Structure 1
């Protein structure tokens, strides 16, 4: 975490080889949010990745705790949804600087940020849960329609396919696709410009926009319950097992080109 300029923080994900999201990721993000919420100076936080090919791969399903083992965070939501809500609602501007893959919960994280900028050559985004027999649990079903429109949100959620940076930009999945060589400078310029303004005014504008664009917390909580219910169904268990057998959560072709593998899980799962 870089806080050289007290008005602008940078938080880098560095959990090789894939930047999988696990309990440690969530607890460290929660601790960072505690500090961000209490800091009177910080105006902007930029999230990026130190792991080539992956911004945040997805949730580590092999290490997923049972729903009964998780405690609600300050928002009253389960830990992962709590982190997402605090990023979306917090008294700071959050920017995702995306290089590499952000699927599933990684995509949910990106969607919770206030702004999303993607490197054109290496970014891949997706909500692949449908191909695993699951319902996404981090409320992308409630964030995507506001950004992309209903039809494109349904396409993203119901096909589970991979979206490169240019198509994601056209759909509104990200705000802008930038050549990778210029991404750092572009995001730095945006962040420094925002950080130069009055914090109270920035927070008030963010809150007003949030009033008409963010999903209610009770709606978000319903998606978490739907995720756990879908994971317990026979189809979800079979498809997850088939994906893990093919390499889910491990370096390899499935993680690099997941969208191409999902339809084939139907045969592999024997459904």
Structure 2
């Protein structure tokens, strides 16, 4: 099976991880395993100071979780080092890893793709080409990795409710205005800006970066205990008839293919 993450090192202390899982960068069991291995490296490598996550596909950063993956297999995955399900484990460990993680978002990051971006320390987005969203409620499901717990401190209660319950798409510029991302930059400037930022951090003392980040984490990161109940609720909700019917409708219309449904999922998920 082809690797989904291409890891390169543009400069000492600086890693770049590029997602590539055609046709649209769905998140599946293999994605979780590769990310877990990468996070283990970030936790133990004394030289890495900053990592940038980007996509080889200009239309999809990380589309969402693969809804055709057997839910029983997903639910049965053994716990990670935190004791949580591996997807929750990856996100929690990434958020607390002793490196600075940057999501450079070009294309769509919805559902679990949005959850991954929210677990990164920093999100920079293409003003023209980035689209973020939590579409799950529109198909009758509760978001499984509890992005609500990460969105609340970032955007405030009202906007978190709008994002999650409204289940619509948020283009890069609007996501910046809400605080969903740090900055939305002109697409032609995104790569240069992110690379310059990462190189800047890679030149700083690692111990100082780690200590300063840890103090921010203490007052901003949710406790791990808030995440497992949301995943349990997700598995219950997607098993209900309404969710099954909504997903079947979307799959018939082109969900998980390079289609108008995936390009404009916020509208199609709501049946508009």
Cα distance, 1:68 vs structure 2:
4.2
The gaps in structure 2 that reach 5 residues or longer are 1-6
Matches within 5 A, 1:108-257: 108-257=115-264
Choose the corresponding residue for 1:56, options 32, 53, 62.
62
Hey, what does 1:264 align to over in structure 2? 271
What is the TM-score with the length of structure 2 in the denominator? Answer: 0.95
| Whole-angstrom CA distance in 1 between matches of 2:108 and 2:205 | 34
The gaps in structure 1 that reach 5 residues or longer are 266-271
| Whole-angstrom CA distance in 2 between matches of 1:240 and 1:17 | 19
Confirm or deny: 8 A CA contact 1:121 1:180 kept in the other structure: yes
Confirm or deny: 8 A CA contact 2:12 2:202 kept in the other structure: no
Q: State how many pairs are aligned.
A: 265
- After superposition, the CA RMSD in angstroms is 1.2
| Whole-angstrom CA distance in 2 between matches of 1:236 and 1:259 | 16
| Whole-angstrom CA distance in 2 between matches of 1:228 and 1:161 | 21
What is the TM-score with the length of structure 1 in the denominator? Answer: 0.95
Hey, what does 2:20 align to over in structure 1? 14
Cα distance, 1:56 vs structure 2:
0.2
What SS class does the counterpart of residue 52 from structure 2 fall into?
Answer: strand
Cα distance, 1:11 vs structure 2:
0.3
Confirm or deny: 8 A CA contact 1:129 1:160 kept in the other structure: yes
Confirm or deny: 8 A CA contact 1:132 1:243 kept in the other structure: no
Cα distance, 1:64 vs structure 2:
4.1
| Whole-angstrom CA distance in 1 between matches of 2:238 and 2:40 | 31
